[in-house]
Amino acid sequence: MTPHLHEEIRQLLSAYLDRELTQAEEQRVRIHLEDCEECRRACEELARLQELTRSLDFEEPPEARMKELEKSLSVQAPRRLGWLFILAGLAAWLIYGAVTWVRHWRPPTVEELIASAVIIGFVMLLLSVVIERLRQLPHDRYRRIER
């Protein structure tokens, strides 16, 4: 066996252990390992190393923060849907109001006044939240997190 062949097989050992070689390459390595004790030992050492690395035991993530994250993730979908409804409702109401205004102007009904008051109040609340958030933003350590 030439040193060149040893080197070539050595370079394939890692992928051989990971089952990432083609069938032909795998067979070539297997045949070589049957005859070459040195490469076989290298292969066994690499396998042992893999096993040791797998058994390294790292610390667990902080459970309280994980629970917090889980909760935050669970409200994402309804929150998104809620925003969608609010925006769609506001847009529809504005279009309806504009069309009514242009087509046939008449004094608004009591129901329309009440609905408009609710919507205006809601928009003002939203604006107040946005303004408050913008004021807090420079001091928020989680500001870069997409919510």
Partner 1 sequence: MTATGFMETNVMSPATEGESGAFANFFERSRRKAYSFALHLVGNRDEAMDITQEAYLRLHRRWPASPGEHDPTAWLYAVIRNIAIDHMRRRARRPEDGLDHVTLRCPSAGPEAAAERNELARQLWEAIGNLPPGQREILLLRDWHGLDYGQIAEVLGLSMGTVSSRLHHAREKVREQMRRFLR
Q: Hey, CA dihedral for 55, 60, 61, 67, is it positive or negative?
A: positive
The residue (of 30 and 143) whose beta carbon lies closer to partner 1 is: 143
Tell me which of 24, 73, 134, 137 binds partner 1, using CB under 8 A: 73
- What is d(CA 66, CA 59) in angstroms, rounded to the nearest whole number? 14
Q: Which of residues 103-142 bind partner 1 (CB under 8 A)?
A: 142
- What is d(CA 107, CA 101) in angstroms, rounded to the nearest whole number? 10
- What is d(CA 91, CA 105) in angstroms, rounded to the nearest whole number? 20
Binding part of the chain for partner 1, among 12-20, 95-103, 106-114, 117-125 by CB under 8 A, reads: 12-20
Tell me which of 9, 13, 29, 33 binds partner 1, using CB under 8 A: 13
Number of residues that bind partner 1 (CB under 8 A): 37
The residue (of 79 and 121) whose beta carbon lies closer to partner 1 is: 79
Residue 2 as a binder of partner 1 (CB under 8 A): the answer is no
Residue 14 as a binder of partner 1 (CB under 8 A): the answer is yes
Buried b (16+ CB within 10 A) or exposed e, 17-36: beeebeeeeeebbeebbeeb
**Residue 40-69 contact track with partner 1, rule CB under 8 A, x = bound:** --x--xx-xxx-xxxxxxxxxxx--xx--x
Phi, psi of 86 (to 5 degrees): -60, -50
Phi, psi of 22 (to 5 degrees): -70, 165
Which amino acid appears at position 44 of this protein? E
Residues that bind partner 1 (CB under 8 A): 10-11, 13-15, 18, 20, 42, 45-46, 48-50, 52-62, 65-66, 69-70, 72-74, 76, 142, 144-147
